Amino acid sequence: MCYDSIRAARFVENQPKEVNIDYRNGRRFAKFSAREVLRGRVSKEDIEGKIVMFGFLGPGDIDKFFTSLNSDPGHPDMYGVEILANIVAQVLEGN
């Protein structure tokens, strides 16, 4: 709501109570490690005007979940913060 309240309100207004997450295989999100941030390798331009999310991205399967994109049903394929990023993108795209 803070980033784009009009799109967020429109999304909530036009959707049922439950909405499937629209995972798009082509969506790519910039990822920076804590080391990159702490060493000053992330510039103002990298994050200015963007939604910044913090989360665990491995190694390991902690906070990793199964999605419809998974090609290996034996192992979870997406970290929680990536799922949240897909939800935010879906709201902003109006899908």
Is there a contact between 66 and 76 (Cβ–Cβ < 8 Å)? Answer: yes
What is the reported pTM? Answer: 0.80
- Spatial CB neighbours of 22, under 8 Å, sequence gap ≥ 6: 86, 90, 95
Q: Please check whether residue 84 is in contact with residue 29, taking contact to mean a CB–CB distance below 8 angstroms.
A: no
Tokens 């993108």 locate to 89
Question: How many residues make up the chain in this entry?
Answer: 95
The pLDDT value given to residue 73:
85
Give the mean pLDDT of 45-73: 91
Closest CA to 53 of 80, 88, 78, 81: 81
